[in-house]
Each structure stands twice: as structure tokens, then as C-alpha cells.
Amino acid sequence: MLQSSSQPKPLKDRLRLLFALLPALPGCYPIHASFGHLDLMARRQPFAQAVSDANATAELGIHLQRVAAMRNFASRELGLPDNGSYRSYAPLDRDYPVWSVWVVPEFELLPRNSCFPIVGCVPYRGYYSKQLADQYAAEFKETGDDVLVAGVTAYSTLGFFDDPVTSTMLRLPEERLAGLIFHELAHQVVYVKSNAAFNESFARAVEIEGTLRWLESRNDAAGLERYRAALERSDEFFAQVKGARAKLAELYAANNSAAQKRQGKRQVFKAMRQAQQQRKALDPAWSAYDPWFDDDLNNAKLAAVTTYFDDVEMFRKLLAEAGGDFDAFYAAVELRATRLDNAATVPASPDPAARSPRLRRGPEKPPP
């Protein structure tokens, strides 16, 4: 006997149904963002509940046990917030929790900002649907802008909610998973409104030092060697990106025709690909960067890399000056943040309120 279809669906099922219908509502970004967030929050399960599920695998239990150890290490050894973030699990039925869309004009280097009430202006816009992200990007691509649609592995609300560990995060190797947790928790320590480069570079510095200490605490000599080698490649890669942006800045500022600028732009990206092939011939580990080079190279890709890496060395130096003490380091970062002149460091925004710096130490809500 069939059950009546009039029976009320559980809240989680209703949210997921609404979320599935969102691609049919073009132009409703606030609705999309709200329901996408609610859907993800509704998927959260305590670790113990997730592993006790009848369909849970033994592998999931091992993964979550490892995450719990990383999470405890983050608060105990790195001074990161001891709250409910990354202490629950959210299984996803898609490749990423969010896709970010970066848009940069054809002959410029600074990305177009999207502005919001809490975080201020950020150089991207996030979508919970790949389809909607692609649709948004296509509008700009058709007018000649450079675009990047990138999957985001972790999910963060800056501590306003208890962010979950997503199933997509568990695909990462141990050192990257640990680093990602440390990175996202760092955003809950210091966050400056409308200054993505400051925020991401700071979090990246915490990620690097935190990962090194995590691997040391595990006596993982092989992991340490692997991670340090990856850091060297990362530094070399960013140096290449920085050099390319310098060449493009000069090219775009020149009094040349659009056709000449496009030709010069193609040459810069061609040289980048050739350098990648040369590095890979000497060290096969460089093949990890192939996906970045294989896809369309453009201003948006360079902007995304620069946002996350531009000031990392400055923050690592600040940590060294603090003697490796994270509490002293965070205090120094807070002091530097309060002295920031956002009008000088952030491109002009259509939202005047976004031009005033905003510092936050930990989540702006009562502890759970």
C-alpha cells in the first residue's frame, strides 16, 4: 500500500528539495545563498553519529578520528578557537560545497569585487551550484572578461556557525587536510573586512606552520620531507605568477592596441606553460600543477593565486619575530590589522561601508 504523499517531509528533505530547484531561479542570488547555506548546515552530523550510521564505512571512521585529532591539536598547540567548528561531518552529493567565481577585466589585474554585509567586499562570488556558477561566469565571459570557476573544498562562515568537515575534505592527503582545517580556523582569529589578501595570506601562514608542527608531532619524517618539498614548489610557482603579473601590468599600461595587448598576453602565458614543462621534466612532482596550466590561463587565475599568497612571507616573518609563539603572533597580526588603511589597500568599491576596516578576534557569538 502506498503511503500518502501529503505526509510532511522532514526539514532536511524539504531544504534539499528547495536547494535542487534553485538552478531554475536565475537572478535570485540571495535566495540561492541562503538555502545553499541552510542545506549544508542541515547535513551536519556529530562524528559519533556519522560513524554509527548503518551505511558508514570503516574508512570514514578512520578519517573522522584523524580529523578529531587534528582539530584538538589546532586549539591545544596553535591557539586556534576551541568551538564547534570542524567537529561535525556533512556528507555531500556534489564535488564541492561551493564554487567561487573570479572575474577580471581583459586588460586588468584586479578582480571585480562582490560586497556583502558581514565580510565586506571579496574578490569572488560563491555558488552552491556549479550550474549557477557557470551561468554567472558566462555573463562576464561573453563581454570579454577573464573568468575562473573554482571548486572550494572547505566551507567556512568565519565562526558564525559551527562549520562542518565536508566529505570533499576527506579526499585530501593528511598534510593538506590538517592545513586546511588550520587555515579555516585562522579566519576566526583575525579577519579584516574587505581585505581578502590580508586574510588569506595570514591564514596560509598559520596553515604552513601548523602543518609543519602537526607532522612533527606525529614523528612523520616522510610527511615532513614531502610537505617541505611541496612548499618549495609552491614558492617557485608563486614567484612565476608574480613575475607574469608584473609583465602583464607593464603590457596593459602600454599605449598599444587591443590586438597587440592580446598577442603579448598570449606570449606571457605561453612562457609560463613552457616553464612548467621544463620543471616537470626535471621533477615529476611538478605534474601536480598540470591541471592549473592545462585549463585556460587568464587574469582571473593569476588574481586568485595572488590573493592567497601575496603576503604569506610577511606573516611567516612576523611569526618568527614572535619566537614561534602563536598568541604573540596573533596579537601582532591584530595590531597590524588595526593600522590598515583599507582605502589604500582595497580597490574602490561601490559599497562605501566596505572601505572601513573591520577586525574580529574569534566568532562574534556566545561560545557554545
Task: Report how far residue 28's alpha carbon sits from residue 197's, in angstroms, rounded to the nearest whole number.
Answer: 28
Q: What is the DSSP-derived secondary structure letter of residue 122?
A: E
pLDDT on residue 368: 30
Residue 116 pLDDT grade (very low, low, confident, very high; cuts 50, 70, 90): confident
pLDDT on residue 31: 87
pLDDT on residue 27: 58
Q: Decide if pLDDT at 13 tops 70.
A: no
In the sheet that holds 165-166, the strands lie side by side as: 45-46, 88-90, 165-166
Residue 345 pLDDT grade (very low, low, confident, very high; cuts 50, 70, 90): very low
Q: Decide if pLDDT at 16 tops 90.
A: no
- Residue-by-residue DSSP string for 70-107: HHHHHHHHH----SSTTSEEE--SSS-SEEEEEEE-TT
pLDDT, tens digit, 9 for 90 and up, residues 97-114: 999 999 999 999 999 999
pLDDT, tens digit, 9 for 90 and up, residues 46-88: 999 999 998 899 999 999 999 999 999 999 999 999 999 999 9
pLDDT, tens digit, 9 for 90 and up, residues 257-314: 999 999 999 999 999 999 999 999 999 999 999 999 998 999 999 999 999 999 999 9
Pairing of strands 88-90, 165-166: parallel
Using left for φ > 0, alpha for ψ between -120 and 50, and beta otherwise, residue 325 falls in: beta
Mean pLDDT value across residues 134-138: 97
CB 248 within 8 A of CB 94: no
Residue 160: partners with Cβ closer than 8 Å, 6 or more residues away: 118, 363, 364, 365
pLDDT on residue 119: 83
The mean pLDDT of the chain is 88
The CA-to-CA distance between both ends of the chain, in Å, stands at 45
CB 92 within 8 A of CB 165: no
Task: Report how far residue 47's alpha carbon sits from residue 53's, in angstroms, rounded to the nearest whole number.
Answer: 10
The helix or strand, by DSSP H or E, that contains position 253, with its residue range, turns out to be helix 221-253
pLDDT, tens digit, 9 for 90 and up, residues 188-234: 999 999 999 999 999 999 999 999 999 999 999 999 999 999 999 99
Question: What 3-state class would DSSP assign to 160?
Answer: coil
C-alpha cell at 218: 606525529
Cα maximum dimension of the chain: 77
pLDDT on residue 21: 44
Task: Report how far residue 225's alpha carbon sits from residue 232's, in angstroms, rounded to the nearest whole number.
Answer: 11
How large a percentage of the chain has pLDDT more than 70?
85
Q: Decide if pLDDT at 121 tops 80.
A: yes
Task: Report how far residue 336's alpha carbon sits from residue 329's, in angstroms, rounded to the nearest whole number.
Answer: 11
CB 67 within 8 A of CB 185: no
Task: Report how far residue 228's alpha carbon sits from residue 204's, in angstroms, rounded to the nearest whole number.
Answer: 15
